[in-house]
């Protein structure tokens, strides 16, 4: 599929996640099969953009094209200025965040809070599209709450403003990340516009990815939380879509190599003090479900030096590899089953999304 002048090699995308999808993690996801990865959200306020943390979020050195930067804000002109600034810094695509449900973001009328003001949404979209000569995309939710799902109206506003791709998370702001994503609205948006539509929300297995593609008709799928500690999910999905075969768990030695390389780049990117702290969540995601993982994570969280953190992790994975060739989890992997959502109500658990047709609203 295409986004502006960029031809993406696949339909599997890595979702932007604050505090997660930094440059080292994006590069790892791209290496393991994600065709596209958007930055953590960058505040449009110029005072915030000057901070050290935001400067790191705007560092794209070594990333392959297209480089996509997600902006968050509520003022059309400030967002336009931020878009121009990021294009000057090397962004190839600007993504607008109207989906973040975090309280601190919504309290300042940003993120998914914007969905309550469609007139402001239209002004933001037109102003930013007019401000830059690169594609502008939009990531948003199905609405502010379940009583007012306005995703189709927002989609039409976006298309008329010149937005070149929509990513829709199948929850309202009120839902946060609870319950089950609903895909009816994504399917309706796909039918309502001509621009590409990306389905986001609860894609956590190759089987689920296929069902979401089939049910929504989406042009691409965006994977978020399921890639935390499992970035190889992108290649697993691709193999299943191509062959219908479920890939075996990766070998412990492969994961060991990937994680150590990830840590080395992470430490280099953040430095010693910040690197050791910010690496902990990634290490926990990789190891917490492995045999002995809980005890290991408790020990790892007490370490204060990157060198010690890396060494202890290496030892843990070497021991895991001596016990089993491939990753062995304490609990079974999810089988890709889907909880049905009928107009905001959970309709039960089913393996086949086709049965959702009777539940459309």
Q: Which residues are catalytic?
A: 100
Q: Could you tell me the end-to-end alpha-carbon distance of the chain, in angstroms, rounded to an integer?
A: 29
Name the CA dihedral angle for 130, 134, 138, 139, rounded to a multiple of 10 degrees.
-150
Q: How far apart are CA 79 and CA 68, in angstroms?
A: 15
């Amino acid at each position: 599929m295409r986004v502006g002048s960029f031809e993406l090699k696949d339909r599997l995308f890595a979702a932007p996640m604050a505090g997660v999808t930094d440059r080292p993690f994006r590069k790892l996801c791209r290496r393991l099969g994600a065709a596209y990865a958007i930055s953590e959200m960058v505040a449009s306020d110029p005072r915030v953009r000057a901070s050290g943390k935001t400067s790191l979020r705007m560092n794209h050195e070594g990333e392959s094209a297209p480089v996509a930067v997600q902006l968050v804000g509520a003022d059309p002109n400030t967002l336009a200025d931020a878009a121009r600034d990021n294009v000057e810094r090397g962004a190839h695509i600007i993504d607008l965040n109207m989906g973040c449900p975090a309280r601190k973001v919504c309290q300042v009328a940003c993120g998914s809070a914007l969905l309550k003001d469609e007139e402001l949404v239209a002004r933001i979209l037109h102003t930013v599209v007019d401000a830059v000569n690169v594609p502008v995309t939009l990531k948003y939710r199905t609405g502010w709450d379940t009583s007012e799902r306005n995703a189709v109206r927002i989609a039409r506003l976006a298309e008329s403003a010149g937005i070149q791709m929509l990513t829709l998370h199948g929850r309202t702001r009120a839902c946060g990340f609870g319950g089950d994503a609903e895909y009816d609205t994504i399917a309706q948006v796909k039918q309502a516009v001509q621009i590409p539509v990306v389905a986001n929300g609860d894609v956590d297995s190759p089987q689920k990815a296929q069902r979401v593609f089939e049910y929504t008709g989406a042009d691409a799928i965006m994977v978020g939380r399921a890639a935390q500690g499992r970035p190889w999910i992108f290649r697993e999905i691709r193999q299943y879509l191509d062959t219908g075969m479920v890939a075996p768990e990766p070998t412990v030695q492969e994961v060991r190599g990937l994680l150590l390389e990830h840590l080395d780049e992470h430490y280099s990117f953040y430095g010693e003090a910040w690197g050791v702290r910010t690496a902990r969540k990634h290490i926990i995601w990789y190891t917490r479900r492995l045999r002995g993982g809980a005890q290991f994570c408790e020990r790892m969280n007490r370490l204060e030096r990157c060198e010690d953190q890396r060494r202890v992790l290496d030892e843990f994975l070497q021991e895991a590899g001596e016990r089993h060739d491939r990753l062995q989890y304490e609990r079974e992997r999810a089988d890709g089953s889907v909880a049905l959502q009928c107009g905001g109500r959970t309709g039960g658990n089913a393996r086949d999304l086709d049965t959702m047709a009777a539940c459309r609203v």
